[in-house]
Amino acid sequence: MNVAAEPCPCGTGVPYGRCCGRWHDGPDHLQASSAEALMRSRYSAFVRGDAAYLLATWHPSTRPASLPANEPGLRWLGLEVKRHALQDASHATVEFVARSKLGGRAHRLHELSRFVREDGRWYYVDGDVR
């Protein structure tokens, strides 16, 4: 099966090519329509090891210079979006739980992430781990 036809890692049930893949591989003008869509696309980018996309969607005020590669053997197991809230037209939060497994041990990341919209484009700013 080609990657574009596989179910998207973000858990929507939509094929990757019509879900997060359109933002990962699409032209610059094709941007996530909401903070939740951006968060889902960032999760999928973590699954695919797409550091370039992760850095491009990270707000410049908090963006690191680089990201480490996924550790060998890391498997992402799923994403659950708990809630998405707009504070105003340019600020939003997304609470999520991402599950992974590394070296036979299960891991759970529960985060409340902050997003900002500038020039019509959503960016990840930072998050509080729960």
CA atoms of 106 and 26, how far apart (whole Å): 33
The string of pLDDT tens digits covering residues 97-108 is 999 999 999 999
CA atoms of 9 and 74, how far apart (whole Å): 14
pLDDT above 90 covers what percent of the chain? 88
Rg (CA), the chain: 14
* Per-residue CA distances from 90 to 37, 55, 63, 64 (Å): 15, 20, 18, 22
What pLDDT is stored for residue 2 in this prediction?
85
Structural domains in the chain, sorted by start:
3-129 (3.10.450.50)
What pLDDT is stored for residue 83 in this prediction?
97
Mean pLDDT of the chain: 94
Please compute the mean of the pLDDT values over residues 86-112 and round it to a whole number. 97
Q: Is the pLDDT of residue 31 over 90?
A: no
Residues 6+ apart with CB under 8 A from 22: 30
Q: Is the pLDDT of residue 25 over 90?
A: no
Please compute the mean of the pLDDT values over residues 50-65 and round it to a whole number. 95
The string of pLDDT tens digits covering residues 42-56 is 999 999 999 999 999
Residues 6+ apart with CB under 8 A from 86: 35, 92
Q: pTM for the complete prediction?
A: 0.94
What pLDDT is stored for residue 81 in this prediction?
98
E-state strands within the chain: 75-88, 91-102, 105-118, 121-129
Q: Is the pLDDT of residue 29 over 60?
A: no
